[in-house]
A = this chain, B = another copy of it.
Amino acid sequence: MTDSPNIAALAAPLADPARARMVLALMDGRARTVGELGAAAGLGKASASEHLAKLTDAGFLKAERQGRHKYLTLASPEVAGLIEAMMALAGRTPARLPQIGPRDPALREARLCYNHLAGALGVRVYRSLSACGYLAHRPGGLDLTPSGRAFCHDFGLTETDLAPARTPLCRDCLDWSERQSHLGGRLGRLLLQRMEALGWLRRRPEGRALIVTPEGRRAIGLAFLPDAEVPKPAA
């Protein structure tokens, strides 16, 4: 009777509004304490603790103790990917309201998705890299081409950054607000870090929205095609 994968067990932890808000609050990839997440969800300590225990038991969250604090993060990029995918679908289901995507324009333009860049800017980077032949799309996922590798070097990434490792270098991630892919995986994280180091982007103390600095706006305009054509199938 129960030979099927337990979708229900996977969905149940997310089915509570308070828990969903907590998970969403972690979508910027940063770690939060129990108290912070409880406050974000409008709960007391007790409820927050129970909810978070449920989420970690279900494998959505990972906990790490530091002194008397307990820091919670999303358990894996796969989890983050599922959440973004659900957001993308949730945005379209409410047939009653045209409320598509985030209201906050800053969130639409550039935001953190777990640990990489998302939003219109993330999609633009992804499309530009694809159009220039820096990313190769294959069935299982995504590869950095040799020319892409060269581009990354010019961009300031090191050999060791791009070395093969256990986790995939490139990864597709469906963008919630744009309904297109942006770049995740280790490379997504590295590019974001580099852009921060270059002063193009800055994180806000709160929230997932990223600040695009004036020089960042200029530099990105030069480095990435504004509305890249998708590579055409070979003739």
Could you tell me which A residues sit within 8 Å of B by CB distance?
Answer: 1, 3-12, 14-17, 19-21, 23-24, 42, 58-59, 78-79, 82-83, 85-87, 89-93, 95, 102-104, 126-127, 130, 133, 136-140, 143-148, 176, 180-181, 230-235
Contact = CB atoms under 8 A, between A and B. Distances in A.
A87 B234 contact: no
A5 B176 contact: yes
Given A23-B7, A86-B7, A138 B137 contact: yes
Nearest to A60: B93
Contacts of A11: 11-12, 14-15, 20, 86
Nearest to A231: B138
23 contacts: A1-B42, A3-B102, A4-B24, A5-B87, A5-B90, A5-B176, A7-B83, A8-B15, A11-B14, A11-B15, A133-B234, A136-B234, A137-B138, A137-B139, A138-B230, A139-B181, A140-B181, A140-B230, A143-B232, A143-B233, A145-B234, A146-B233, A146-B234
B87 A85 contact: no
A87 B137 contact: no
Nearest to A17: B8
Contacts of A12: 11, 15
Task: State how many copies of this chain the complex holds.
Answer: 2
Contacts of A126: 139
Contacts of A8: 14-17, 19-20
Contacts of A5: 87, 90-91, 102, 176
A21 B3 contact: no
B6 A104 contact: no
Which of A127, A136, A139 has the most chain B CB atoms inside 10 A of its CB? Answer: A139
A138 to B, nearest CB: 4
A137 B137 contact: yes
A51 to B, nearest CB: 12
A12 B10 CA distance: 11
A191 to B, nearest CB: 15
Contacts of A231: 136, 138
A147 B235 CA distance: 8
Contact of A14 (B7, B82, B87, B181): B7
A126 B140 CA distance: 10
